[in-house]
Structure 1
């Protein structure tokens, strides 16, 4: 299987990735608590549109190594930097789903955008999940604490209901199958328990508001207005206000997992953005 080894003073971490197609590289960064397989409906679309598509597993998830530590966003962004560097990617387009939006923004903060053409935030946690006095639409701390307790006490049971909420399953059974829920559960259940909890702390606690100014390339923001996992008011609405050069697409009645339930709408928006000339997006 293809791996890239991210070598640091502390440890070496092997990151599993898939690399298809040719042309301008599009890097897909998956959400929590899944793997690169969550991008199944987007990988083929990107490749058939004439682009090179790289999708990798975050450390602790999928086939990547499962270290005990290193789930803060700067370390995760350094994993992304290692992939971009070792694959010698130029003019890359970064696409982050949910938690993956954090790697995109922290990459812009820690490494700049000289080698990045565009970015996309899909159902993203950016800029802040938690409810604060200055972020009243965020998720209450009690709910976040309950998630952490459930992950500690019975992670695999928690994941069963989580994925139903991920897709608004009761309302969208015509768009997502029971088999998809079971498939996602299998992927999530096989992830490192430690990584699952530590990564959840990262997306629940990290405040990216001061970093939005570092996203200085064209940015696509896509979010569902029925997202029960990451409320649109605390995420995409704020990101669209503070990322200077953005294209904001709200998908009506779409849940968090719109990459499956509204795959055609997402693919159309993503490919339209990818194909558009950077000069036109900046103008």
Structure 2
């Protein structure tokens, strides 16, 4: 792992090598770049230059008290791409990482970007509002998540990771894999965890999606109990101009682990177009 300064903070990243086109993997909440362990070997074996990093507040990156909003996250990403001289890249955002993909392309455009992937991702807009009745979260749900983290982080994460990897009431990964996910959360600051709940729970990405002018792959589990397909992946696929949608049958939210082979296959097919 290496460190670089981006947008005023130190970001921990790993450039996994490969001299092909860059693929930048952006992790979900409340994990770290290490959560892509099932994807990195498949991508590097196919020759891609794979880059993972820890979002501010998570993993080994700096943990400032502020900056837990998508405008800041997108600028953190922009600094990483610039410092590593990344061009012609595919951005892959899982869960809340899909927000960085949307906001980066909405704010910065596609000069450095060849294509994008939304995997179990939060766009277009999770919060239920008068003009977004199809959202998946009421404000009380967002507040409830925050209260869960504040009142008992360990107990909350035990329940959350079970839901994360479950489809139709059944855990789709081994207990060891679930515990590995919990371990990835250990270094995260509680301030970052709380700020990110507000960010992914209440940020409207609809205008960002409409600006995307590169090919997009949407991959989503049909049994995702955290970010339901109908609320997010389906609507993203309908909004983006050039989108391909792949639904993972019996797929939980954490299908990058439970259905790793399927995700890797559709990801490589998309990259090889």
For the aligned pair, the TM-score class normalised by the smaller chain equals over 0.9
Q: Which of 104, 124, 141 pairs up with 2:139?
A: 141
> What residue ranges of structure 2 are gaps of 5+ in the alignment?
none
Detail structure 1 runs of 4+ shifted over 6 Å in the superposition: none
**Displacement, 1:172?**
4.2
1:2-41 equivalence runs, <5 A:
2-7=2-7, 12-20=8-16, 21-41=18-38
**Displacement, 1:213?**
1.2
**Aligned length in residues:** 271
Query: Which residue of structure 2 lines up, in the alignment, with residue 158 of structure 1?
Result: 156
**Displacement, 1:251?**
0.8
- In the alignment, is residue 69 of structure 1 matched against residue 66 of structure 2? yes
- In the alignment, is residue 254 of structure 1 matched against residue 230 of structure 2? no
**Displacement, 1:15?**
0.4
Tell me the distance in 2 between the aligned counterparts of 1:94 and 1:187: 22
> What residue ranges of structure 1 are gaps of 5+ in the alignment?
277-283
Q: TM-score, normalised by structure 1?
A: 0.93
Q: Which of 180, 185, 191 pairs up with 1:183?
A: 180
**Displacement, 1:40?**
0.3
Q: Is the 8 A contact 2:167 2:225 kept in 1?
A: no
Q: Is the 8 A contact 2:30 2:188 kept in 1?
A: yes
**Displacement, 1:143?**
2.0
Q: Is the 8 A contact 1:220 1:246 kept in 2?
A: yes
Q: Is the 8 A contact 1:100 1:124 kept in 2?
A: yes
Q: TM-score, normalised by structure 2?
A: 0.96
Q: Is the 8 A contact 2:26 2:93 kept in 1?
A: yes
1:105-254 equivalence runs, <5 A:
105-133=102-130, 134-168=132-166, 171-173=169-171, 175-254=172-251
Q: Is the 8 A contact 2:222 2:252 kept in 1?
A: yes
